[in-house]
Amino acid sequence: MNSEFSLIARYFTRPTPGAVLGVGDDCALLAPTPGMQLAVSSDMLLEGRHFSPQDSPAGIGHKSLAVNLSDLAAMGATPRWATLAIALPEANDAWLTAFARGFYRMADSYGIELVGGDTTRGALTISITVIGEVPPGQALRRDGAQAGDDVWVSGVIGSAAMALAYRQGRLFMEQVDAARVLPALYLPTPRVELGIALRGIATSAIDISDGLLGDLGHILERSQAGATPVGASLEFAALPTLPVVQNYLHESAARDCVLAGGDDYELCFTAPVGQRDAVRAAAAAAGVTATRIGRITAEPGLVVLGTDGQPLPIRHTGYDHFAA
């Protein structure tokens, strides 16, 4: 028999040496490292919107924590603690075992401990809150981009959008090519080490969950030159993508996929020109590539230049979760 409490005991209770008190009481008790600020973020994943019923439960466990860790990465915070609120249509042991395996594998990789949550019956819904630590004044906020800064992106972008199109039957790909992009959609890697390594180097950062243009747009809105928001000029040819993007998509579809495709969970960040070597060293230490894709400008607006130096037509500017 699976009562709420036996479920919690069986699947979501593990030792939490980094907490004063973990799962089992009315609250967890946490002792932050003296002098550190806490970075707190929540992300909710709904069946039908963020994943589909056929998706692997281990993958859902991985991704639901990964997207939350990605927010800590984008702040340059060190992951410490998480809570998990989960609604389940039924107590399916095989599903829960696999979900917990994916969740804890991700948690163990990044040193984050599950210290509490809530469990209830209902349509499959996963809501995670993560708590990290960052030294005062060193968080990578959205509002620090300066005119003249370089714009950088980690890893490659556009892969998750291609994988989604493939999975939804909107795009044909050879299996070998599909296998190159599917991990970006189902098993994203949060760039936690990079975020931490960019403390004191990057002037602003965001993780790309809703598409490069939309997410960079958030940095631009928040960062001011005088009284007006800054702008950015990007070079389309500089954007790091897998070769499959060009191999399968014609020009405008490739553009949409790379500029507006969501779910890549790479970091987009800005840094002064004088920090190029430091950015490259930080990326190398974090085991990820960082690519310079453009510049922050004093004039507001976001332009993407083609190889001929002319602005490309831009269709989407991001994914709207409230769109029907």
Interface contacts to Mg ion, rule CB under 5 A: 118
Separation of alpha carbons 311 and 313, rounded Å: 7
CB–CB of 114/12 below 8 Å? yes
Of the pair 118, 174, the CB lying nearest Mg ion is at 118
Residue 75, contacted partner among Mg ion, ligand ADP, none, CB below 5-8 A by kind: none
Least Å distance, CB 42 to Mg ion, is: 16
Of the pair 86, 296, the CB lying nearest ligand ADP is at 86
Q: Which residues bind ligand ADP (CB under 6 A)?
A: 8, 12, 23-26, 84, 86, 114, 116-119
CB–CB of 186/55 below 8 Å? yes
Residue 59, contacted partner among ligand ADP, Mg ion, none, CB below 5-8 A by kind: none
In degrees and rounded to multiples of 5, residue 270 shows phi and psi of -120, 150
Least Å distance, CB 73 to ligand ADP, is: 22
Residue 86, contacted partner among Mg ion, ligand ADP, none, CB below 5-8 A by kind: ligand ADP
Residue 114, contacted partner among ligand ADP, Mg ion, none, CB below 5-8 A by kind: ligand ADP
Give the residue closest to Mg ion by C-beta.
Answer: 118
Least Å distance, CB 43 to ligand ADP, is: 15
Cα 282 from chain centroid (whole Å): 18
Burial annotation 279-310 (CB, 10 A radius, 16+ → b, else e):
beebbeebebbbbbbbbbbeeeebbbbeeeee
Q: What is the largest CA-CA distance in the chain?
A: 66
CB–CB of 80/18 below 8 Å? yes
Q: Which one-letter amino acid corresponds to residue 95?
A: W
Mapped onto helix, strand or coil, the DSSP state of residue 285 is helix
Of the pair 118, 143, the CB lying nearest Mg ion is at 118
Of the pair 12, 248, the CB lying nearest ligand ADP is at 12
- What residues have CB less than 8 Å from 291, skipping those under 6 apart? 152, 153, 154, 238, 239, 240
Residue 84, contacted partner among Mg ion, ligand ADP, none, CB below 5-8 A by kind: ligand ADP
Least Å distance, CB 85 to Mg ion, is: 9
Strand ranges inside 111-173, DSSP E: 113-121, 125-134, 150-154
Residue in 148, 177, 150, 152 with CA at minimum distance from that of residue 162: 177
Of the pair 13, 317, the CB lying nearest Mg ion is at 13
DSSP string, 165-187: HHHTTSS---HHHHHHHHHHHHS
Least Å distance, CB 115 to ligand ADP, is: 7
Least Å distance, CB 4 to ligand ADP, is: 6
Least Å distance, CB 69 to ligand ADP, is: 16
Of the pair 46, 305, the CB lying nearest ligand ADP is at 46
Do you know the residue count of the chain? 324
Of the pair 118, 251, the CB lying nearest ligand ADP is at 118
Residue 117, contacted partner among ligand ADP, Mg ion, none, CB below 5-8 A by kind: ligand ADP
Of the pair 8, 58, the CB lying nearest ligand ADP is at 8
Least Å distance, CB 25 to ligand ADP, is: 5
